[in-house]
A and B are shown apart, each in its own frame.
Chain A
Amino acid sequence: GAVVSQHPSRVICKSGTSVKIECRSLDFQATTMFWYRQFPKQSLMLMATSNEGSKATYEQGVEKDKFLINHASLTLSTLTVTSAHPEDSSFYICSMAGWKLNNEQFFGPGTRLTVL
């Protein structure tokens, strides 16, 4: 199957700073990327869907100006948490999908963000 990497795996930042998380497909070109957020002991909540070359579609309740998503190429998507606050501390996971992936999304290993 396809391999997806995320960087960084863990980040601690001060309140008010911005953090960028990268999601890369290592051996496949993805047409669609998804970004999820997971709070402790909860399920994955979809934040946004991005297609290469077009603007991301955000789920209801997710601030697009706070969570900037850029699907720069078929192998790279980034999520930038702008002016992060402690309530943004969470586990962020990306996944990728494409027509050649037979009914399956492949997930990155996740990024644990802690905002102090």
Chain B
Amino acid sequence: AQKITQTQPGMFVQEKEAVTLDCTYDTSDQSYGLFWYKQPSSGEMIFLIYQGSYDEQNATEGRYSLNFQKARKSANLVISASQLGDSAMYFCAMRENRGGATNKLIFGTGTLLAVQP
């Protein structure tokens, strides 16, 4: 069965510094996708970054990059140059790609990031 583990319930980071949010996953499938979402206090889920299991390069989107280590089954999110607006809950999620975009997402328990001035 699929499982996503986020071991950091909360993290502090100084403004302008980089921070890494951990995510490990478990699946028996060869084809899957890994996602990171940001959820601010308002509640909406904001898509940050996606990594496919067959992607050879780590995904990057602006200040977000995904450190994908397939052998270790980890997909850590790195946020560079943290900003106060980055303070939010961050969720790692996985989807098996058998059916493409219509397969369900499995979420981790989330990491609450607080950026300090």
Interface of A toward B, CB cutoff 8 Å: 1, 31-32, 34, 42-46, 49, 51, 91, 93, 95, 97-99, 101-110, 112
Interface of B, secondary structure class, is: mixed
Contact A43 B108, CB 8 Å, known A93-B45, A107-B45, A110-B43 = yes
Interface size of B in residues (CB-CB distance below 8 Å): 23
Residues of chain B from 29 to 79 with CB closer than 8 A to chain A in the complex: 33, 35, 37, 42-45, 47, 50, 52
Number of A-B residue pairs, CB cutoff 8 Å, is: 62
Complex CA–CA separation, A105 to B97 (angstroms) = 13
Contact A49 B101 (CB under 8 A): no
| Set of chain A residues within 8 Å of B37, measured between Cβ atoms | 107
List 13 contacting pairs A-B, 8 Å CB cutoff, sorted by A: A1-B47, A32-B101, A34-B105, A44-B45, A45-B107, A46-B105, A95-B105, A99-B101, A104-B35, A104-B101, A108-B44, A109-B43, A110-B43
